[in-house]
Amino acid sequence: MGSQSEDRREQGKVAEGSLARLAKGPAAKYVGFALLLAWHYALWFVPHVFVQTELLDERVTVSWLLNLGATVLFLFLIALLLGRKRHLSSYPWLAWAAPALTTAATLALCLAPFSFTAPGVAYALSFFLGATEAVMWILWGERYACVKANFSIKHIGTVFGFTLLACVGTTLLLPPVAATAFVALLPLASGGLLVLARRDGTCSFPALLPKHAAGGGFKSMAVVCAISFVASFASYFLAAVIPWEVLPTEVSSFTFGILGGAVLMLAIAGICIASKDKVNIFKLYPWLLVFEIVAFSLFLADKALYFPSFVAAVGISSIFEILLIMYFGILMSKGYSTPAMAFSFSGGCVRAGIAFGNTLAVAYEHAPAVAQAVTPETCLALICVLAALLIPLVRQEFSIVALTAAPPSKAEVDEICAEVAEEFSLSAREREILGLIARGYTTSTISTKLVISPYTVNTHIRHIYEKMQIHKRSELLNYINLQRSDF
């Protein structure tokens, strides 16, 4: 009996160790944020989640648009208020309060009989959900910054694809009330994983580059955001302007569009794994615009092709969001942006584009005579715009690769040292020692060159570390080299 008990304990330890290794795996860290995205898509794209109201009821559409607008507003507002020095994760109670409030508001919106009979209640709840979702977005972004996530497409793409398939598919198959309960629990699951992840005590954020040095990264973010806004606008205008009544799966077509996006995400991750090309994330983004142009072409070609055009449009709009998270997550890890700003850009510009695209389509819907006359011309104009955007997007690919991977020149290193000295108020001697470290001098060689003791050199170096919030020479050298390394 004693031997069997010891065997069971040993097996338990092995199982526990396996779960711990799984939880710490490179892909597992993305599950929590993937659940948050799955909550959003399951809530707004699965027909029977709103028990009291049809998915395409105008009140639901207005609620969704308010939710998108609130998410964009609070993402950028929080990032602006935090600035470069503060972090939302400094308020640990938010990690459990935001998910709990999101779950409660979701249940009230979907189940309360009065929520849509008095539309103001639904609109207020939807706006509130945008605020809590924005908080969770930024908390997860700061978590990924602390654990130095590399935002590899083979990991994040696979996790997001499978999570969306599992959660949205499960919601579609469950009966109405059970589906609502399942969707409402997703933010709690995301928050629970966030709280568990924070228990490792890791709270060291990547050192931000000086403002001038980070300017190139910010410019790249702004250009990609502008392109993504237009692309998201176009994709959701197309999805919303197609009459769902003529689609074979009718209102469920929205769900199949999201599932199509999940499958496309898995396909992209599979291509990247097969090709073993570490910069595939940048090369694949322009192809999404090409795919979007194809979706518009199918819509204009024949009514029989409305369904593949619709599924492609909805799926692409979800893919943009995930790809932008990877785009800006890489720049964030290199110190070009705060986590709050990076995740605000990644979520804000896509959701703003979706909101504006859907709003234009709704306006067309309320003026059918005008819509019939101008919809084809609008689609042709958007095709031309998307084609024109391919050029700056391809150029941006090389710019971002240079920002994140290309080794800096000697002039860039000298410039960053000067900017560091100014931003962190280094003394003249500390600035001199920083320049020597950048050139590869060791403590002993610095001591000989400056004719001071090694102890004095180490004291100056320690002061540099303290002012820059850096802990060792390798981190300092990585910072001076603009944190450019293979990703």
From 350, 383, 404, the end of a domain falls on 404
Angle at 191 between CA 151 and CA 123, to 5 degrees: 105
Q: What confidence score (pLDDT) does residue 201 get? A: 65
Mean pLDDT of 460-478: 79
The reported pLDDT for the residue numbered 412 is: 66
> What total number of domains does the chain contain?
2
pLDDT (average), residues 14-43? 71
pLDDT at residue 20, rounded to an integer: 42
| Comparison of pLDDT for 367 and 98, the residue scoring more | 98
User: In this predicted structure, which of 213-227, 314-328, 439-453 has the lowest mean pLDDT?
Assistant: 213-227
Q: Which two tokens stand for residue 468?
A: 């820059």
3-state secondary structure the chain: CHHHHHHHHHHHHHHHHHHHHHHCCCCHHHHHHHHHHHHHHHHHHCHHHCCCCCCCCHHHHHHHHHHHHHHHHHHHHHHHHHCCCCCHHHCCCHHHHHHHHHHHHHHHHHHCCHHHHCHHHHHHHHHHHHHHHHHHHHHHHHHHHHCCCCCCHHHHHHHHHHHHHHHHHHHHHCCHHHHHHHHHHHHHHHHHHHHHHHCCCCCCCCCCCCCCCCHHHHHHHHHHHHHHHHHHHHHHHHHHHCCHHHCCCHHHHHHHHHHHHHHHHHHHHHHHHHHCCCCHHHHHHHHHHHHHHHHHHHHHHCHHHHHHHHHHHHHHHHHHHHHHHHHHHHHHHCCCCCHHHHHHHHHHHHHHHHHHHHHHHHHHHCCHHHHHHHHHHHHHHHHHHHHHHHHHHHHHHHHHHHHHCCCCCHHHHHHHHHHHHHHCCCCHHHHHHHHHHHCCCCHHHHHHHHCCCHHHHHHHHHHHHHHHCCCCHHHHHHHHCCCCCCC
Whether 283 and 431 share a structural domain: no
Q: Are residues 234 and 257 in the same domain?
A: yes
Q: Last residue of a domain, which of 379, 404, 429?
A: 404
pLDDT of residue 169: 94
- 434 and 457 Cβ atoms separated by less than 8 Å: no
**262 and 119 in a common domain:** yes
Q: Which of 241-255, 273-287, 333-347 has the lowest mean pLDDT?
A: 273-287
CA end-to-end span of the chain, whole Å? 52
Residue 18 belongs to a domain: no
Question: Which is more confidently placed, 198 or 276?
Answer: 198
* Highest-pLDDT range among 25-29, 35-39, 48-52, 460-464: 35-39
pLDDT at 397: 63
Mean pLDDT of 95-111: 95
Same domain, 391 and 344: yes
| Alpha carbon distance 88, 74 (integer Å) | 13
Domain contains 286:
yes
Over residues 297-309, mean pLDDT: 91
Crossing angle for the helix pair 428-438 and 454-468, nearest 10 degrees?
90
Mean pLDDT score across all residues of the chain: 83
CATH number at residue 379: 1.20.1250.20
Question: What pLDDT is recorded for position 318?
Answer: 84
Same-domain check for residues 218 and 247: yes
Distances (CA, A) of 67 to 14, 276, 294, 408: 45, 38, 29, 43
Instruction: Grade residue 104 by pLDDT with cuts at 50, 70 and 90.
Output: very high
Asked if the model's pLDDT at residue 86 lies above 70, the reply is yes
Q: Looking at this protein, which amino acid is placed at residue 6?
A: E
pLDDT of residue 9: 54
Is residue 137 a contact partner of residue 75, using CB atoms and an 8 Å limit? yes
In the listed set 404, 432, 448, which residue is the last one of a domain according to the structure? Answer: 404
Q: Is residue 185, in this structure, part of any structural domain at all?
A: yes
pLDDT of residue 95: 92
Co-location of 251 and 373 in the same domain: yes
Residue 229 confidence (pLDDT) above 80: yes
The first and second tokens of residue 309, run together, are 């055009």
> Pick from 189, 181, 85, 203: which is nearest to 136 by CA?
189
Examine residue 145 and state whether it is found in any structural domain, yes or no.
Answer: yes
Do 377 and 422 belong to one domain? no
**Placement of tokens 């695209």 in the chain:** 357
Q: What percent of the chain has pLDDT over 90?
A: 37
Same domain, 426 and 337: no
Q: What mean pLDDT do residues 258-265 have?
A: 89
| 468 is a domain residue | yes
* Residue 231 and residue 356 in one domain: yes
- In a domain? residue 292: yes
Closest CA to 258 of 160, 325, 343: 160
- Could you tell me if residue 19 is inside a domain? no
> What mean pLDDT comes out for the span 378-403?
79
- Judge contact between 419 and 212, C-beta under 8 A: yes
**Whether residue 332 is found in the same domain as residue 469:** no
How much is the average pLDDT of 214-228?
Answer: 80
Q: What is the CATH number of the domain that holds 415?
A: 1.10.10.10
Assess whether 445 and 306 both reside in one domain.
no
pLDDT tens by residue, 129-139 = 999 999 999 99
pLDDT greater than 50 at residue 23: no
- Tell me, yes or no, whether 130 and 197 share the same domain: yes
pLDDT-based confidence at residue 21 (cuts at 50, 70, 90): very low
In a domain, 6, yes or no: no
What pLDDT band is residue 282 in, cutting at 50, 70 and 90?
low
Domain interval for residue 347: 28-404
Q: Name the nearest CA neighbour of 88 among 344, 323, 325.
A: 344
| pLDDT at res. 298 | 93
